[in-house]
Amino acid sequence: MEFKFTWIIVQLLVAFQVSSTFGFEHVIPRGLNNKPTRVIGGVTVIDTLLVRAAQAFARENSEAYLYNHVMRTWLFGALIISHNTTLQHSVDLEVHAIGSILHDLGLVLNATWISHDLRFEVDSSNRATQFVEETAKHHGTSSAWDANRLQLLYDAILLSSEPKFSLYKQATVKVLVEGVLLDLGKPDYGVTAAEYQGVEAAFPPLNFITGVNHTLVQLCVQKPSTTYDSWQQAFGDAYVPGYTPVGRFVDIFNPKTPSS
Ligand SMILES: *[C@@H]1O[C@H](CO)[C@@H](O)[C@H](O)[C@H]1NC(C)=O
Ligand SMILES: *[C@@H]1O[C@H](CO)[C@@H](O)[C@H](O)[C@H]1NC(C)=O
Ligand SMILES: *[C@@H]1O[C@H](CO)[C@@H](O)[C@H](O)[C@H]1NC(C)=O
């Protein structure tokens, strides 16, 4: 009897150990990543119809600087994964690829899918998830996209501009933002200088700095209320005449602010 009780305690301890690993490390189903590959910018990446369709969609709809940024984000992420066995067992490569390629759809400010009231990351997530559902249906591969994978895609894109959250989420979510961070920084996470340069040679930054600046200023002009209390607000504060973030969360605590 006593032995049995001890055994249950041991089992519970083991269960908690295991669940913490299985929760956020998110071991992927066996065979999920067994897909064809191809080489882009010197990087071996997953090659599926849906990934190709996502790439074509991004190219068709984005300015050149933005398209090159999302491609570098994907390839840097793929390099990070190639240097890390743990990630090879925990990242859903197709979700990572499509999420990276479509993560800035909400910055295509004249597109039909841009809302007037949602943060750009939400517009990106909504459009990307819709794109995958529609395209997979068209390809007859809807069964590969259960609610869990669609949710992973949605969250990976939603949090792609907020590393303070995404670095602590599932490996797929985390590597996507690490690809973004590498593109804003320098080689890291095991990626070599030569690999980094290979990606930049294939997808050069072009007018990245002025392009991002212009797009974010435009975002603050076009849908200001979605930018208050986000990192995007700095662009409105600095460059948009008449940009008044009245109704910001902080103003609730300031009695001098006129209520709107
Ligand atoms: C590999 O990735 C895992 C999960 O993100 C991380 O904990 C680990 O530190 C990485 N290993 C190396 C050598 O960078
Ligand atoms: C958005 O602007 C680009 C040029 O920057 C143009 O090629 C594209 O057709 C426009 N899209 C829409 C939906 O107006
Ligand atoms: C960003 O845009 C503002 C407003 O157009 C401009 O004054 C500023 O020089 C731009 N900065 C860069 C780095 O492009």
Looking at the CA of residue 174, tell me the nearest atom of ligand 1. 5
Length of the chain counted residue by residue: 260
38, 74 Cβ separation under 8 angstroms: no
Nearest ligand by distance to the CA of 112? 2
Q: Where are the domains of the chain?
A: 31-206, 209-253
Looking at the CA of residue 190, tell me the nearest atom of ligand 1. 14
CA of 83 to the centre of ligand 1 (A): 9
Which residues of the chain are modeled with pLDDT < 70? 1-26, 247-250, 255-260
Give residue ranges with CB within 6 A of ligand 1. Answer: 84, 86-87, 171, 174, 190
Is residue 184 classed exposed, middle or buried when 0-12, 13-18 and 19+ CB atoms within 10 A define those classes? exposed
CA of 102 to the centre of ligand 1 (A): 25
Probe residue for ligand 1, chosen from 28, 87, 91, 169 as the CB with the greatest number of ligand atoms within 8 Å:
87
Nearest ligand by distance to the CA of 218? 3
Provide the pLDDT for residue 142. 97
Probe residue for ligand 3, chosen from 65, 209, 214, 221 as the CB with the greatest number of ligand atoms within 8 Å:
214
Distance between CA 156 and CA 125 in Å, rounded?
A: 8
Which residue puts its alpha carbon closest to atom 7 of ligand 2? 61
Give residue ranges with CB within 6 A of ligand 2. Answer: 110-112
Provide the pLDDT for residue 37. 98
Which residue puts its alpha carbon closest to atom 12 of ligand 1? 84
Give residue ranges with CB within 6 A of ligand 3. Answer: 209-210, 213, 217, 239
41, 201 Cβ separation under 8 angstroms: yes
Nearest ligand by distance to the CA of 114? 2
CA of 24 to the centre of ligand 1 (A): 13
Query: CA of 61: how far to CAs of 8, 110, 213, in Å?
Result: 57, 10, 19
Is residue 109 classed exposed, middle or buried when 0-12, 13-18 and 19+ CB atoms within 10 A define those classes? middle
Provide the pLDDT for residue 257. 55
Provide the pLDDT for residue 140. 97
CA of 154 to the centre of ligand 3 (A): 31
pTM of the model: 0.88
Query: CA of 109: how far to CAs of 62, 75, 124, 195, in Å?
Result: 9, 25, 11, 32
Q: Please state, as a whole number, how many other Cβ atoms lie within 10 Å of the Cβ of residue 5.
A: 9
Looking at the CA of residue 214, tell me the nearest atom of ligand 3. 2
